[in-house]
Structure 1
């Protein structure tokens, strides 16, 4: 196995947690909701837009925060959540580029 192939396989492994986070439709909805509200939203506001309990939303926010998709900012007594998708998206884009580069010789991956 070439070093490049080993590198791509490692990138796949490194992206598994990010991809797992994105498989949940509720987390996808939270990401999209936060994308529309750049000032940040608190748990109660997010819960009001979803058919989930406050504890369930808090759980999803915790998972998103741990994976780097969001961060929280304390305002008074409440946490407000905002998107910070740059690092995870760059990691996923890097994986896609590496896979494209590794597969260019295959007929299944047409050249642009």
Structure 2
């Protein structure tokens, strides 16, 4: 008999949860590495943060491109890298492109890093 109100666990990230308890699969490691590599550039990390901190985790490129000392084509390049890594999605509305955070990607990165930190704090063997 199920109990009402119990939280459901998102099993989509379970393959990544044992980061410090057992080795990642090749596919999981490649997926996580691609996302972290995309975020390793300071401009991309800041762009991702700007989109993530906007209402509904969505922002028009016109709202975020003015905060940088790089050209619009460079901003577009960085946004494309984030999109190709699966961190952002985009939608054209009239003449503007709106970018939004892919919730599953944000949850994945968060769960991998928090699991590692939690296990390290608990003294899990390295």
Asked if these proteins are the same fold (TM beyond 0.5), I'd say: yes
Give the corresponding residue for 1:40.
59
Q: Point out the more displaced range, 12-21 or 86-95.
A: 86-95
Deviations 1:20-76 (A, max 9, x none): 01111001111121123225212x442211111000000001011112221112211
1:68 aligns with 2:86: yes
Distance 1:9 1:20 in 2: 18
What 5-or-longer segments of structure 1 have no aligned partner?
Answer: none
Q: Which of 90, 107, 111 is the equivalent residue of 1:90?
A: 107
Taking the TM superposition and a 5 Å limit, the aligned residue runs for 1:1-112 are 5-6=22-23, 8-10=24-26, 11-38=28-55, 39-42=58-61, 44-84=62-102, 86-96=103-113, 97=115, 100=119, 104-106=123-125
**TM-score w.r.t. length of structure 2:** 0.63
Which consecutive unaligned segments of at least 5 residues does structure 2 have? 1-20
What residue in structure 1 maps to residue 16 of structure 2? Answer: none
1:5 match: secondary structure: coil
Q: CA RMSD in A?
A: 2.8
Q: Answer yes or no: is the 8 Å Cα contact 2:59–2:98 preserved in 1.
A: yes
Pairs aligned (count): 100
- The answer as to whether partners of 2:60 and 2:96 remain within 8 angstroms in 1 is no
**What secondary structure sits across from 2:77 in the alignment?**
helix
